Amino acid sequence: MRTEVQHLRRARSLYAATGLLVIVVVGLLAWLNWNRVSVRKYEMNVAFDGKAPWGNVGPESESEKAPTVIYRRVGQSYCYTAFQLPGLRDRLETEKKSRVTVEYNVFTIFGHEGRYTLRSVDGIALAVGNRIIQNTREFGGQILLNGDEASKCP
């Protein structure tokens, strides 16, 4: 009788330890993949006053000025981000920059790429992960031309 009781206690302890281990592993995997941020770097072209190669990129509202557009070719199409940040625009225009280094924060949730934000333009920090350093009021996406298929921008 005593060995049977000891065997049952040992089995319950083993089940409890296994259950706890499963909970810890699942929790750790969720925590590690929950909201991962990676950085991507590109050399991109600059267009001032919303004048991009595919046409004008207008402001988000009629009360705003035309945005600065940074873009790169993907096949025959373009990935772009338009933003409003007068100080950065003035600096790029004064230095007559037509190409700049751009970094993006790319957010991945459970292995799937989601949104992205500008991290820096020409070495000027705009955001680090979710922390915004300078509010850029940005928007962007992809312009599909000549039958190209959609790709993930940035």
Residue 33 pLDDT > 70: no
Condensed to tens digits (0 to 9), the pLDDT of residues 98-138 reads: 999 999 999 887 777 878 889 999 999 998 877 888 888 88
Residues 5 and 80 in one domain: no
Range of the domain at 107: 36-143
Residue 42 pLDDT > 90: yes
Residues 27 and 58 in one domain: no
Q: Determine, yes or no, domain membership for 150.
A: no
Residues 29 and 40 in one domain: no
What is the count of structural domains for the chain? 2
Question: Percent of the chain scored above 90 by pLDDT?
Answer: 31
| Per-residue pLDDT at 29 | 67
Residues 94 and 120 in one domain: yes
| Per-residue pLDDT at 47 | 93
Q: Are 66 and 59 in contact (CB under 8 A)?
A: yes
- Residues 3-30 have a mean pLDDT of 78
Q: Determine, yes or no, domain membership for 148.
A: no
Mean per-residue pLDDT over the chain, rounded: 85
Question: What value, to the nearest 5°, has the Cα angle with vertex 137 and ends 131 and 143?
Answer: 115
Global pTM reads 0.73
Rounded CA separation 147/154 (Å): 19
Residues 72 and 105 in one domain: yes
Per-residue tokens: 8: 């049952």
Per-residue tokens: 15: 């089940």
Rounded CA separation 77/127 (Å): 27
Closest to 98 (Cα-Cα) out of 23, 43, 24, 31 = 43
Tokens 């909970």 identify what position? 23
Residues 22 and 97 in one domain: no
Give, in order, the Cα–Cα distances in Å from 140 to each of 5, 15, 96, 97, 128. 67, 52, 23, 20, 19
Q: Determine, yes or no, domain membership for 109.
A: yes
Residue 32 pLDDT > 80: no
Where does the pLDDT of residue 20 fall: very low under 50, low under 70, confident under 90, or very high at 90 and above? confident
Question: Percent of the chain scored above 70 by pLDDT?
Answer: 92
- Give the H or E element holding residue 131: strand 131-132
Residues 120 and 49 in one domain: yes
Distance, CA of 26 to chain centre: 25
Condensed to tens digits (0 to 9), the pLDDT of residues 45-62 reads: 999 888 899 988 887 667
Residues 26 and 13 in one domain: yes
Residues 60 and 87 in one domain: yes
